[in-house]
Chains A and B, each alone.
Chain A
Amino acid sequence: KNEVEQSPQNLTAQEGEFITINCSYSVGISALHWLQQHPGGGIVSLFMLSSGKKKHGRLIATINIQEKHSSLHITASHPRDSAVYICAVALNNAGNMLTFGGGTRLMVKP
């Protein structure tokens, strides 16, 4: 079993829809990262969080440490949000070395 599981693996939405991507992990962590990867492009960090909730524009990330679960929400989705979204965790006592989930491939149709 992977230490970091994401769901769904693939997601297709219509422009304007509210999107939720989930991440569950099975180990103690010091931080959780949400990352975005466009086709053919590198990886961009969206959020780094260790508790509570963060918001940036139309993106919201939440984490529940007790339940070992995090969600990434996209409000008013747009075709340019189409990308792979990756959850990664920094394990306790491992500094900022990351363990990655398998990613969620999102396609937003106009």
Chain B
Amino acid sequence: EAGVAQSPRYKIIEKRQSVAFWCNPISGHATLYWYQQILGQGPKLLIQFQNNGVVDDSQLPKDRFSAERLKGVDSTLKIQPAKLEDSAVYLCASSLTSRTNYEQYFGPGTRLTVT
């Protein structure tokens, strides 16, 4: 079974530029998560999708971050414009459902550096 795929793996941009990350979850997984992990910290949930609907985006900085999962499969996370403090690893995870005790499977992450 293929795992969660993410691209790119690394991205370096200047502040005020835009960037987009892509995630393809495990086939059949209805729930998709985007996390931000700043160096030395645990991941922080940005947004959770159930199929193509948003379940929780309370910690997404909506003035600059946006995410979509139009067809309920793959997803894109965008930052526009980027700030220095956005430098982090962006992790995508998926699970079969959002019910308790269903495991999340993580992708390799995209390491973003904003200069």
Q: A residues touching B (Cβ–Cβ < 8 Å)?
A: 4, 30-31, 33, 35, 41-45, 48, 50, 86, 88, 90, 95-103
Question: How many A-B contacts are there with CB distance less than 8 Å?
Answer: 66
Shortest beta-carbon distance, A34 to chain B, in Å? 12
Q: Which residue of B lies closest to A50 (CB)?
A: B101
Residue of A nearest to B92 (CB): A42
B98 touches A96 (CB 8 A): yes
Q: Are B106 and A44 in contact (CB under 8 A)?
A: yes
9-residue interface stretch from B41-49, B70-78, B80-88: B41-49
**Main DSSP-derived SS at the B contact region:** loop
Q: In the complex the two chains form, is B106's CB within 8 Å of A43's CB?
A: yes
Instruction: Please give me the residue from chain B that is nearest to A99 by CB atom.
Output: B45
Q: Give the docked Cα–Cα distance between A48 and B97 (Å).
A: 16
Q: Does B104 touch A at the CB level, under 8 Å? A: yes
